[in-house]
Amino acid sequence: MTEGSDLRSDAELYGALRQGDASALRAIYDQHVGLVFGIAYKILADQQEAEDLTQDIFVSLTRRSGYDPTRGSLRTYLAILTRSRSIDRIRSRTNRQQLSRRWQSDPR
């Protein structure tokens, strides 16, 4: 992390990111990647899938995201988003497995 980003709050970094400042994304990533990956890995129990989700979470910040600095911390937002998307991936995985089993057992 750079010295300048140490002095900037998450709200300031997010505002800079919304203005197209790539260094703000790097600072946010550096500060929160451990949290995001840790939650994803704990829920998904698959390193590659957790890494993919971690990347998706940070890429989503560069697009229109639902984060509102007036409603809470970026850390909390990222934790909740990661948890939700991890659960979505498990549901999707489970649905694919169920469909595959149904398709394989269909006598037609």
pLDDT digits (tens, 9 = 90+) for 23-82: 999 999 999 999 999 999 999 999 999 999 999 999 999 987 789 888 999 999 999 999
Q: Is the pLDDT of residue 2 over 50?
A: no
Question: What is the chain's length?
Answer: 108
Which domain, by its residues, includes 58? 3-105
* Tally of structural domains, the chain: 1
**What confidence score (pLDDT) does residue 22 get?**
93
79 Cβ partners below 8 Å, 6+ apart?
35, 36, 39
- At residue 18 the predicted structure's pLDDT band, cuts being 50, 70 and 90, is very high
CATH code of the domain containing 47: 1.10.1740.10
* pLDDT at 76 (0 to 100): 96
pTM confidence score: 0.80
User: Per-residue pLDDT for 108 more than 80?
Assistant: no
The alpha-helical segments, DSSP class H, found in the chain are 3-6, 10-18, 22-44, 47-62, 74-105
Largest Cα–Cα separation, the chain: 65
94 against 70, higher pLDDT:
70
Residue 31's alpha-carbon distances to 46, 63, 89, 99, 100, in angstroms, are 22, 19, 24, 39, 40
Residue 7 has a pLDDT of 58
